[in-house]
Amino acid sequence: MTVSENFSLFSGGAPAFAQPLPVGQLYAPEWSEFEAAMQGIFERRYYTNHGPILRQLEEALSDFLQVRHAICVTNATIGLLMATDALGLSGSVIVPSHTFIATAQSLKWNGLRPVFCDVDPVTHHIDPEMASRLIDKDVSGILGVHLWGGACDISGLQQLCDQHGLKLYFDAAHAFGCNVEGRPVGGFGELEVFSFHATKVLNATEGGCVTTNDDDLAARLRNIRSSYGAGPPVPVTKTSNGRMSEAQAAMALISLHDHPKIQARNERLFRAYIRGLDGIPGIRLIHPVNVTQSNYQYAACEVDPERFGMSRNFLMEILHAENIIARRYFYPGTHRTIGFNDQANQNALHLPVTEKLSETGLQLPLGARVDESAVARICEIIGSVQESATDLCKARKQVS
């Protein structure tokens, strides 16, 4: 038997895992709790439009995040669009390219030009020093992105924005339940935007929330969120429908109640990855940075092709054949996606880290679909792929 036959991609044999293991959190509540919540909704016949469960959720979130206002929305993409409008930005906004495309798309929807910033090669976060070099007269704000259960250098960015009179706000889609120097993410900058997508640590199936300590901004957001507004009417130039339904809110409320258990489980899984990947050459697990508490919702790695012995893409293909559905977050860099790729060549020159990460970043499964033994097995497989990398690459050439 040749080395390559140990792997399903080559042998065509059964994968290591019978069911696909996706990367998302994919939390499911106790059925009885969810059923009781749905029964209440059906009895009230009140399905959406700032209903009682939504109001309860907003209060619970504002307590949990220690912030004056939590404005729930359909999803974080809509939240980012509304937030950017509510801030009254103009011209251009500095934003990392190494993020989900929705971050920069929210600027485009608002007629603003994203100025793509590179990220720190170790932390993957936007760096205040790099951002400072991009400030010119046209720039009106910085949209920071907290990644991988960590946070940006918030104080560094705030200082920079204060110096230049810029507005600072955050895409906090990855940072629900994270603390920075003991303070929850949610109350920093002008506002922060969370995602409650099914793949995130707080699950509303789809959902999100904009948080702020600014009463005027909150009032504008509540009036932008639906065409008839909610709360005292204040002048806004656009309205939308970014409401969260009662069913979404019910799911989020149960998920919020279970958050301590989910966070603790994530942390155990993350530690299992630390143990399992330790000593495998060429693969680096990204640890959450700048936080005193992480949600540990992601196992983001970087694959160094030279030291690992093969490319990230080939490793991913081998893992997929074993039903380990690892993903390339974020591929390609946002500056190479629709709407921005006309500038790609020019921008690529200034974004060497982002360019590299789009070729080396790999997200491994961490969430409800894996337990510690599955994580140990995933790491074992990655370790044996690395040990056999030379043979596997040769076998690949013979096949193709």
The residue ranges that bind ligand T4K (CB under 6 A) are 22-24, 26, 75-77, 99-100, 102-103, 145, 171, 173-174, 195, 197-199, 208, 325, 327, 329
CB of 10 or CB of 196, closer to ligand T4K: 196
CB of 125 to ligand T4K, least distance (A): 11
CB of 22 or CB of 149, closer to ligand T4K: 22
At 84, which amino acid appears? Answer: T
CA distances from 130 to 105, 126, 185 (A): 21, 8, 23
CB of 77 or CB of 123, closer to ligand T4K: 77
Phi, psi of 34 (to 5 degrees): -65, -40
Q: Which two tokens stand for residue 31?
A: 């059925």
- CA–CA separation, 359 vs 305, rounded Å? 10
> Which residues 6+ apart lie within 8 Å of 394 measured at CB?
none
CB of 18 or CB of 399, closer to ligand T4K: 18
| Best CA proximity match to 341, nearest among 101, 117, 135, 144 | 101
CB of 311 to ligand T4K, least distance (A): 20
CB of 23 or CB of 117, closer to ligand T4K: 23
DSSP helix, strand, coil percent of the chain (3-state; round to 5): 45, 15, 40
- CA–CA separation, 177 vs 218, rounded Å? 21
Whether 102 and 244 have beta carbons less than 8 Å apart is answered as no
- CA–CA separation, 267 vs 276, rounded Å? 14
CB of 395 to ligand T4K, least distance (A): 27
- Run of H or E including 300: strand 299-303
Q: Is the peptide bond before 20 cis (omega within 30 degrees of 0)?
A: no
